[in-house]
């Protein structure tokens, strides 16, 4: 039990009796103490049940609600709060979507009152909402009776896609297929035969089917479509480079969001998707299969970046054991310079003997801005020179990757989704795999 403000005032008034009689003051204090204890005993706590979202995406807000059910015969004044993980930002009171835990809420007899607030996750993972703490005021307003309801609600915070789609200059340009029934028809592209049709002016002569043309006594051409049921491997570097924060996010957040979008597009095409997450060790491997968006989002929500050097030879060796069929290998990473990235280039070059590697390198916009900033004094000149050197070293490393036969996408963080999606579609349409 916790004394209420009224009880504290009564204790203060009783203490004034010490000016007249110490015994009278002690008797008054004892009387107030007994009344406060009895009032707290008579307080009836409403039951509390919390309703929380099971999943949220980075950049989104979700509503958490607590139902207070008063089964008693009289109204009760309540104060309520609950425990939240530090990675969940709660709406402040006065914003319209939060309640003040120090404010009293009246719960009428025989009714239920719902209190709600909004939370916004700051990082991926599985944060918890912990115990619910309820205080009920006694009928005479002298004491609060407090009770803690032990409960845990886990929220899956997964990489966000909607937020990046809203970015003005970095929107996803190609719409997602709403089903797997649409096919890409481009003469001479793709390797899977679809149908025959009459020749029209402008068709590629290489698509002419001379045997059918001879039977029909008119020219006929073959049409092709991009193959279905191909393998796509989403490899995610979770080492120290991807831990760097760009645009108030870890670089890995952009990679994981793009991976989810690519898996959705691959599902629409009928492709199979495998996943490989690694740092200095292989953390997660999933063999190629028809992607399940919910399961994939849950798996990627648990990805944790670490301040370690990524072990590319180990990761690509695990890939070779798990993915034997030729696949489109999409690696989300970043490079610093040719020396540091030598292991990456060598590993991808070896993988290119079997697979088609595509490296998606995510830029640091602040570094690019620093390399282009005006040199106003000696300090800023040195700062710009260092940034220019890093930018040039990175460009050299990417050029070395391209010379090794590796497809490279050098993307602004907010443009990672669109650029990687466009490259994936281009690979399928051109039949590069």
Residue pair 306/281 in contact by the 8 Å Cβ criterion = no
CATH code, 409: 3.40.50.410
Closest residue by Cα to residue 149 from 49, 76, 68: 49
Virtual CA dihedral for 157, 158, 159, 160, nearest 10 degrees? -70
> Both 107 and 221 in a single domain?
no
| pLDDT tens, position by position, 19-36 | 778 888 888 888 888 888
pLDDT at 329: 94
CA distance 74 to 392: 74
Residue pair 94/47 in contact by the 8 Å Cβ criterion = no
pLDDT at 429: 79
> Both 375 and 417 in a single domain?
yes
Provide the domain limits for residue 215.
192-225
CA distance 251 to 334: 9
Residue 89 lies in a domain: yes
pLDDT at 284: 92
> Both 35 and 68 in a single domain?
no
pLDDT at 184: 40
Q: Tell me how many domains the chain contains.
A: 4
pLDDT at 8: 84
pLDDT at 189: 47
> Both 405 and 343 in a single domain?
yes
> Both 152 and 216 in a single domain?
no
Alpha helices (H) in 270-337, listed in sequence order: 293-301, 312-322
pTM over cut 0.85: no
pLDDT at 324: 87
Residue 186 lies in a domain: no
Among left, alpha and beta (phi > 0; psi -120 to 50; other), residue 416 is alpha
Alpha helices (H) in 168-229, listed in sequence order: 210-216
| pLDDT tens, position by position, 256-285 | 999 998 998 899 888 999 999 999 999 999
Low-confidence ranges of the chain (pLDDT < 50): 168-190
CA distance 299 to 81: 31
> Both 69 and 154 in a single domain?
yes
Among left, alpha and beta (phi > 0; psi -120 to 50; other), residue 96 is left
Q: Cα separations (Å) of 128 from 120, 125, 191, 292, 419?
A: 13, 10, 50, 25, 35
Residue pair 198/182 in contact by the 8 Å Cβ criterion = no
> Both 18 and 152 in a single domain?
no
Count CA within 13 A, CB hemisphere, residue 391.
Answer: 16
């Amino acid at each position: 039990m916790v004394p209420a403000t009224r009880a504290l005032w009564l204790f203060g008034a009783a203490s004034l009796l010490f000016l007249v009689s110490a015994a009278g003051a002690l008797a008054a204090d004892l009387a107030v103490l007994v009344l406060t204890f009895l009032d707290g005993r008579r307080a009836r706590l409403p039951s509390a049940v919390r309703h929380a979202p099971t999943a949220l995406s980075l950049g989104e807000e979700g509503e958490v609600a607590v139902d207070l059910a008063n089964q008693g015969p009289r109204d009760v004044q309540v104060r309520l709060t609950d425990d939240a993980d530090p990675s969940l930002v709660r709406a402040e009171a006065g914003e319209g979507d939060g309640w003040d835990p120090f404010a009293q809420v009246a719960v009428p007899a025989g009714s239920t009152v719902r209190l709600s607030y909004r939370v916004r996750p700051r990082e991926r993972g599985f944060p918890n909402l912990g115990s619910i703490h309820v205080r009920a005021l006694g009928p005479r307003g002298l004491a609060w009776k407090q009770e803690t309801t032990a409960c845990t609600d886990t929220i899956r915070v997964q990489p966000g896609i909607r937020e990046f789609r809203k970015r003005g200059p970095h929107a996803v340009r190609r719409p997602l297929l709403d089903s797997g029934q649409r096919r890409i028809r481009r003469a001479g592209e793709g390797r899977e035969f679809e149908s025959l049709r009459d020749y029209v002016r402008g068709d590629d002569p290489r698509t002419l089917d001379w045997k059918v043309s001879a039977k029909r006594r008119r020219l006929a051409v073959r049409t092709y479509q991009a193959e279905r049921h191909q393998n796509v491997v989403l490899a995610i570097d979770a080492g120290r480079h991807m831990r760097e924060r760009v645009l108030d996010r870890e670089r890995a957040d952009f990679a994981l969001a793009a991976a989810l979008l690519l898996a959705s597009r691959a599902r629409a095409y009928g492709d199979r998707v495998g996943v490989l997450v690694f740092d200095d060790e292989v953390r997660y491997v999933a063999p190629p299969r028809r992607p399940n968006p919910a399961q994939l989002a849950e798996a990627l929500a648990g990805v944790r970046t670490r301040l370690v050097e990524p072990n590319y030879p180990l990761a690509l060796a695990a890939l070779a054991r798990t993915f034997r069929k030729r696949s489109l290998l999409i690696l989300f990473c970043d490079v610093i310079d040719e020396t540091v990235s030598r292991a990456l280039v060598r590993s991808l070059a070896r993988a290119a003997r079997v697979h088609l590697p595509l490296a998606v390198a995510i830029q640091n916009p602040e570094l690019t801005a620093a390399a282009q900033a005006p040199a106003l004094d000696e300090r800023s000149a040195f700062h710009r020179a260092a940034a220019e050197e890093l930018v040039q070293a990175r460009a050299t490393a990417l050029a070395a990757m391209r010379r090794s036969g590796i497809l490279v996408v050098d993307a602004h963080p907010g443009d990672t989704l669109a650029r990687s999606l466009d490259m994936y579609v281009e690979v399928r349409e051109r039949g590069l795999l």
